[in-house]
Structure formats: C-alpha cells, structure tokens
Structure 1
Amino acid sequence: MTKVAVRRLGDISSFIRGITFKPTDVVPADTPSAVGCMRTKNVQTQLDISDVWSVDSGFVRRAEQYLEEGDVLISSANSWNLVGKCCWIPKLESATSFGGFVTALRGDENLVDRRYLYRWFASAGTQKTVRSFSRQTTNISNLDLKRCADLPVPLPSLVEQRRIAAVLDQVDTLRAKRREAIALLDDLAQSIFLDMFGDPDEGWLDVSVGELAVAGKNGIRTGPFGSQLLREEFTEEGVAVLGIDNAVQNEFAWSGRRFISTEKYRQLARYKVNPGDLLITIMGTCGRCAVVPDDIPLAINTKHLCCITLDRAKCLPEFLHSYFLMHPVSRRYLAQTAKGAIMAGLNMGIIKALPVRLPPLDLQQKYVSRVEKVRKVRAQQEEHLTALDELFESLQQRAFSGKLWDHEAA
C-alpha cells in the first residue's frame, strides 16, 4: 500500500492577483478593447455571469491575469463571513480578467487535478480554516494568501483525484436538481395562488387585516416589551418563546429554543400563541410570515413578531399567509407604506391596515387543499435534499481525510 502524499498548497498551485481598477474605469461591453472583469459579486456557488463589468484590456498587465478554465476564483477581500468563498471557472466564451477584491487559484495540472483542487478548497473544513486566516480592517476582511499557501493538501494520484472529484460532482449535481425541483414547486404554489386570486371578482369584499382578526384587543398583538421579559429570565425548559428565527423562512421552523418558566408565563399569558396564528416579523429581518402549526406546544411570541389570530369564519390562515407574501395588492401596499429595502418601517399599525381583496371562504378552502398537495411533495423533496447534503458533507470529510482513496491505485 502506497502512502499518499500531503503537499503544501503553494507547491502545487499559484495565487494570482487580479487587475486594479476603479468603478469609473468600467466601459460598455461592446467597446472594441473591452474585456470582461469578474469581481466579488460574481463569486457565488456557481460563477454568476449576470452582471460582469468590462474594462479596457490595457488594465491587464500579465497574461496570467486572464482566467483559465479550471481556475478557482476566490473572494479575497469581503465581509468576515464571505471572505474565502470560491467558485469554479468554466470555459468562458471570451477573454475575461478579474479584479475587485478577488484572487484566482490556479493548480499545476502536472501535480493536481483542478477539479479536485476546487472541491478541496470549497470543502467546509478548508473554508472554515481559510476564513480564520483573514485579517480584519475597519470595514472588510482580507485573506492572508501566504498562510493559505502553507495549507497542507492531501494528494493521492491524479487518477484518484479525478475519481474523488467525479464522486463529489455526481452528488452535488443531484443536490442541484433537488433545489431546482423545490424552486419549481414554489413557483407552482405561487401560480396556483395568482391564478385563483390575482384577478379578483367584483363581488369580493375589500377589507383590512384588522377586520379579519378575532374580536377583542388580543386579535392582533406583539410580544412583551422592555422589562416585561428580560434575557436573563429565559430558562432551559418550560414555556416556549417564539421569535424571528421561527418565521424568517416564511414557514414555521424551530431554531434555537428559548423558554420561560411557568410562573413567568402566568404574567405574560396574554401573549399566548395559538395553532393557526399568523406570525409576521416586524424587527430585524422584517416582512417574513409563517403559520403556527397545529402541534405547537404552549408558547408566547416576542416583541419582534406581530401575531394574528384570525376569525376563521372569514379568513383562513394559509390564505392570508400566501396573500401577504404573494398578492400584488399586498406587495404594493407594503412597498409604499414600509420604509427601506427590508421593510424597516413595518409595524402593527401597518399590518392592521393592510388591504385584502377577500374571496369567499369556500374558494379559500379550495386553494388550501390544492396548495397543501404541493407542500407535501415539497416536504419530500426537502427531506431528500437534507439527506443528500449530509451525504455530500460526509463524502467531503472522507475524501480529504483519505478514507475515499484507493490506496492501491495511489
């Protein structure tokens, strides 16, 4: 059995710094001497070519500053959580350079398979290490390329490197297809909603959200403010406390669990959350919306949420949830009324006044029945994606710790 080598990253590849230019140097793409220039915005999970700047070719000082197929483009100056993020460079249609706080990692093809190198650099373990090498300045983190060059890279034979990269590519392709299927199901749910409610009948009522809540001051409410609930009053178990994280995905999800004691709950019982209540985030990441599930344990909501208990003889929670997120009237109202790109001005008064073109209850029920079938399929796809994500992470760990290597072939 042959021992597999571990090589220093700087010995098998090179970090290539991009060109230096200013936003004022950008020229139209059809300028005769223009070349495309990738920057941090283009470094996504896959190379994003939807918004590529162009500069005069005179800014490219060295031939190596043109991207090659198989380069790994790295965000080398960014916010602390994004520095080191990378993507694979496919074959590009025209000569393209790079700059704007990105760096290219180019493997020596005699020593390392470039796809294997990309998979290693993009792996969770390497990304975590690379981020720890960043140097924080006032507004940005800069990647320490010298420290990165000293990273040890497990290096089986080129044949084995290609096999490992192919295995990871295959699973990653399956993950991408699951994500595409989930996105299509989301589009289907939206299409069903807009088909049924986007062009309302003249006989539908014009009401506000406030009119759809149950009677009484607790129909629409926020959580306890100020000294009513202090952070030090949270406990390890007891009555659940719901916050932004439970609604931020636009569907209810458990995240970090928070609790208060039964004794504290007695003081805050008016903030109780019921099955079928609608939760809308009004602080932090505003404008997200979720329906509380039927199996919710005893819980209250925080001041970061507006909680709505609907009169279900008028309006079903699932309908209003979709209306809030998808209906043109709702989206237009929120865009005009709330301030800022993340709805920084969203509050309970705005939500109460939100106009609703209310269809008959039987039509709402028909919609809920149709969309529930879509959501069941979506939940299955989510489960499959979770399993594939776990498999991919496991394969990465095994691949770069030597457990996927064919040592005889190496």
Structure 2
Amino acid sequence: MSIAKANKLPNGWRWVKLEEIADKSHYALSSGPFGSNLTSAHYQNTGVPVLRGLNISDGQLSLEDLKFISEEKAKELARSEVKPGDVVVVAVGASGLAFQIPESLPRAIMSQNFNKITPDLSQVNAKYLEICLNSDIVQSQLKQEITDTVRTFLSLTKLKDVEIPLPPLAEQKRIAAIAQKADRLRRTRRYALQLSDTYLRSVFLEMFGDPIANPKGWKTKLLDEISEVQGGLQLSQKRDNLELKLPYLRVANVYRNKLDLSEIKIIGLTKEEFIRVKLQKDDILIVEGHGNAAEIGRCAVWDGSIKDCVHQNHLIRVRVNLKIVNSAYLSHYINNSGGQKYFHTSSNTTSGLNTISTGIVKQCIVPIPPLPLQEKFAQIVQKFERIRTQQREGARQAEHLFQTLLHRAFRGELTPQDSNDEPASLLLEQIGAEQAQAEAEAKAATQTMGDAAEYGGTKAKQQDTEPI
C-alpha cells in the first residue's frame, strides 16, 4: 500500500502482506460465520465458547460474558475456530482493532464480527503482530479499507492485503517486550476511567434503585410525555449542492455518557432543516443504529460546545422538559440496565444492523424521582467529570507515549545504531515513572469517588424521608 511504502525501514526489515505471514494450515486466514450460520438461537448454557462483538469493551477484549454452542455446531463452524496465539481483528463495529487470543481461552468460535489470523511463528511473533496491527502506521491503512457507514466493516479480502513492517524475529520479541510495558500504562489509564463509570453506576443505584425493578416506587412516564423526540438528517450526495453547510454529529461522536468530538464533519442542509434539527445544550443524543446490539440506545448529553451543530439520522435527539427531568439523570438511566434492556429488546435487526425508531424511543418508560434528587445526582456527575477530564488527558498522554515508542521501534531506534542513540532503557524509565504516577492517581481518584458515592447515598436516604 502507498502508506506503507512511504515509510523507509531499517536494514534487515521488510514490508509483508498479512497473507504472507499467515500459517500454512487450513483456515489460518478466516472470517466469522455469516448470517444464519450462527445466531442467538444456537446458544446454550455450556459447550464451546463464542466470541461476540459484545466481548469488545472500551477497546479491549473481555471474556466476562461468553455464550456457548454445542460441540456439533462448533465442528460445523471449524473455519471460524480460534485458539491461543491467534490474532483476531474486529470486522464490524470497532473495525480494525486487533487482539491476541489469551491462554485463558483454550478454544472458541468467533462470530461474524471478527476476522482471524493464525501467524506463521517461524516468521512473526504473535504479540508483535497484535501490537503492530494496533499501531498508527497500520491503522492508517485499515481506515482506508473499512467501509465507513453506520455499520463499519473490514472484509477478510482487504485485510489480507494489509502490509506490516517485519523485522527479524529477535527484534520483534524485543519490541513486543518493551511495548507491553507501555501497553500496561495505557491499560492502567483506561482502568481509571472504567472505575469512574463503575462508581457513577453505583451512585445511581444507591440514589434511585434498580432501574428495572424500581424498588423506590417512583412514578413513571413515557419519554414522549417528558420530552420532544426528533430524528436527524439523512446523508446524500444531493446535500453537497445546498448552500447552508454546518457541523453535524454522527454515531462516532456519541458514546455512553461521553462525547468524542475529535472529528466533526460538515453537512449541507436547508434553513427549514436547520430549525428542525439544531442542537441545544442539554439535548440527549441516542444512537439509532449499530452493528453491535449492545450499543443500540447508547446516549450522551450535548454540551453545546459547537455552535449551530445538527445531527445525522442515525442519532435521535431527545429534548427534555427540564421542569420534570434532568438531562444527566435521564442519560444515565438510558445507559443503565433499564434503558439498555428496553432498547436491546425493542430493536430490529436487518442484515446485521440493529436499529430503533423514534417511535420506540418515545415509548421508553422512565421512572421520575423528585427533581431535587435528580439535580443532586447531576452535581455528583459534574464533580466526577472534572476527575474524568484529568483521567482522559492521562489516557491521551499514555496513548501518545505508546505510539511514539512504536514509531521509534519501526525506525529501528530501540536498538542503538551508534553511541549517540538514546538507549531503550531511558524509555523504560519514563514508562515506569508514568506507570507509578498513573497508579497513584487511580488510587486517589478511587478515594474521591468513593467519598462522593457515600455522600450521594446519604443524601438519597435523606430525600426518601423528607416531604416532597
């Protein structure tokens, strides 16, 4: 590929296509079963594990919620079997992310959400392959090959042609060992962010009870009764000729209680459309369509940070009546078990794409606690958000350090070429210092959030006993 060839490699390195370094065994390069060959109807309580899109969480492989199929069915799907040492690449959803199958998963069948590479270990180290595929230099290639729709897709055919830089095996192992230390730092930073999510869910449950059971007996209303629900703009080439051009939000910008505004696109629209879909601060944006069923209905509160911003039709806007419900409370309710269960069971699936309609959103039942209690929760969320801003910056710096290390590795700079080269030991010292700081910050944040959770729970109990 042009991107690959533009990067000069050190002596002894070469560019290779993934199909050139795959094992020669049958199904060394394969994809997950298509369509009806593997559905939820095949799942059972025990048997051979199935690796699904739901097992990708926050950019990491999770084995906490595995489904199973019979041995007989697994034999039918032998071409999609994965084992320790295989490297799987996400094909649908978070397309392009690569993971090495761990020893803790002796055998599994991957779903249609994945492609698989069984590496030829005489040429490539499996850990190096995983790290290399997740590097910026290879991800930039993958982005060119991914079908960029609401259901992003990376085909096995295109994956085979992706090129990676391949050093001698000894250097691969050296790079992998150093990169794993930097990766540990990345994971620590991500773990701190996950902790804050966990604590916010705990505070929500303490203050409002289980969203499904509603043990506090809050009155309920349909979302349509407490808000205005609005669909967005459908993309088309005809919009290129419209005079009005404005920024718009899409699925890639909205996560659970979090916005990612790193890439904002522009859309053409009429003045009438602008009036209809213009976003206001405290609007809630709900994901309408996704290849991963677990992501249907995820939402975040719009912060108003971009002037005259609108939204695409794969996001549904909810403009709440702030005299009845707080946006932060409603967003966390939808992203909690109550909302997740409703949208998951109400969604429709066509050709692997899961969708919900504005009608389904309007019929979502929402418990309505006293507004002061909702606002108290919003204050805690705001306090947590300040912590999370610091954590996100730490995560960004850790990612930058990781990618910088890989860029140096691919230039051969981890092996000193002369006495003036900076030794790899200095990099390891920097990573070690960052790791110690990250762990200390995570511990401090845990204490702060624990105090907030205890405070929120106390206020909730007081609210329960105070007259409304």
- Judge same fold: TM > 0.5, yes or no: yes
Q: Indicate the residue corresponding to 1:154 in structure 2.
A: 167
The letter for the 1-side match of 2:218 is W
- Structure 2 equivalent of residue 354 of structure 1: 364
Give, in angstroms, the shift of residue 251 of structure 1: 2.8
- Work out the CA distance in 1 between the residues paired with 2:413 and 2:134: 18
Cα distance in 1 for residues equivalent to 2:108 and 2:235: 53
Structure 1 counterpart of 2:449: none
2: CA distance, partners of 1:298 / 1:182: 30
- Residue from 305, 325, 333 that aligns with 1:323: 333
| 2:13 aligned to which of 6, 27, 39 | 6
Instruction: Describe how 1:193-208 pairs up with structure 2 within 5 A.
Output: 193-199=204-210, 200=214, 204-208=218-222
**Aligned counterparts, 1:256-405, within 5 A:** 256-260=264-268, 264-265=270-271, 268-283=274-289, 286-328=296-338, 330-340=339-349, 344-347=355-358, 349-405=359-415
- Segments of structure 1 that go 5 or more residues without pairing to the other structure are 60-65, 134-138, 214-218
Amino acid at match of 2:189: R
| Residue aligning to 1:231 | 239
Following TM superposition, by how much is the alpha carbon of 1:190 offset from its aligned partner in structure 2, in angstroms? 1.3
Quick one: which of 158, 179, 190 aligns to 2:190? 179
Separation in structure 1 between the aligned mates of residue 347 and residue 105 of structure 2, nearest angstrom: 43
CA-based RMSD: 5.2
Q: Secondary structure at the match of 1:402?
A: coil
Deviation at 1:396, TM superposition (A): 1.2
How far apart, CA to CA, are the structure 2 residues paired with 1:183 and 1:322?
15
The residue type paired with residue 390 of structure 2 is: Q
Does the Cα contact within 8 Å between 1:75 and 1:84 map onto a contact in 2? Answer: no
Post-superposition offset of 1:363: 0.4
Separation of aligned partners in 2, 1:268 and 1:8 = 49
Which letter maps to 1:212?
I
Greater CA deviation, 189-198 or 116-125?
Answer: 116-125
C-alpha distance in 2, partners of 1:171/1:42?
26
Show the counterpart of 1:252.
Answer: 259
2:230 corresponds to which letter in structure 1? R
Q: Which moved more, 1:177-186 or 1:123-132?
A: 123-132
In the TM superposition, residue 361 of structure 1 has moved relative to its aligned partner by 1.0
Alpha-carbon contact 2:279-2:304 (below 8 Å) kept: no
Letter in 1 for 2:277: Y
**What TM-score does the superposition give when structure 1 sets the normalisation length?**
0.67
Residues 151-181 of structure 1: per-residue CA shift (max 9 Å, x gap): 76333x94x6554333211111111122222
CA distance in 2, matches of 1:39, 1:203: 38
Determine if the alignment matches structure 1 residue 192 to structure 2 residue 214: no
In the superposition, the TM-score normalised over structure 2's length comes to: 0.60
Q: 1:380 to 1:151 in 2, by over 3 A?
A: closer
> 2: distance between equivalents of 1:250 and 1:131?
26
- Residue 343 of structure 2 aligns to which amino acid in structure 1? L
Q: Structure 2 stretches of 5 or more lacking a match?
A: 1-9, 39-43, 76-81, 146-153, 422-468
Secondary structure of the 1:17 match is: coil
Paired residues for 1:101-180 under 5 Å? 102-108=116-122, 116=128, 119-120=131-132, 123-126=135-138, 141-142=156-157, 153-155=166-168, 158=170, 162-180=173-191
Matched-pair contact (CA < 8 Å) for 2:208–2:216: no
Q: SS where residue 15 of structure 1 aligns?
A: coil
Shift in Å, 1:242: 3.5
Q: Which has the higher helix share?
A: 2
Distance 2:127 2:200 in 1: 37
| DSSP 3-state at the match of 1:167 | helix
Q: Does 1:222 align with 2:236?
A: no
Is 1:17 equivalent to 2:30 in the alignment?
A: no
What amino acid is aligned across from residue 399 of structure 1 in structure 2? Answer: A
Change (3 A) 1:402 1:343: closer
Corresponding residue to 1:209 among 208, 211, 223: 223
The separation in 2 between residues aligned to 1:294 and 1:43, in whole angstroms, is 33
Shift of 1:183: 1.8
Structure with max Cα Rg: 1
Provide the C-alpha distance between the structure 1 equivalents of 2:341 and 2:21, rounded to a whole number of angstroms. 52
Q: How many residues align?
A: 368
Deviation for aligned residue 1:287:
1.9
Amino acid at match of 1:17: S
Q: Identity, % of aligned pairs? A: 23
Q: What secondary structure is seen at the aligned counterpart in 2 of 1:5?
A: coil
Letter in 2 for 1:125: I
Verify the 8 A CA contact 1:38 1:97 in the aligned structure 2: yes
Q: Which amino acid aligns with 2:303?
A: P
Q: Cα gap change, 1:281/1:331 in structure 2, threshold over 3 Å: closer, same or farther?
A: closer
CA pair 287-18 structure 1, distance change in 2 beyond 3 A: same
The alpha-carbon deviation at position 292 of structure 1 amounts to: 1.3
- Structure 1: which amino acid aligns with 2:259? F
Contact in 2 for aligned 1:287/1:342 (Cα 8 Å): no
Read off the aligned partner of 1:395 and give its amino acid letter. Answer: L
Offset, 1:321: 1.0
Moved more, 83-92 or 294-303: 83-92
Question: CA separation of 1:260/1:375 partners in 2, compared to 1, >3 Å: closer, same or farther?
Answer: same
Superposed displacement of residue 302, structure 1: 4.0
Report the AA paired with residue 188 of structure 1: Y
Partner Cα separation in structure 2 for residue 246 and residue 117 of structure 1? 29
Contact 1:223 1:302 in 2 (8 A): yes
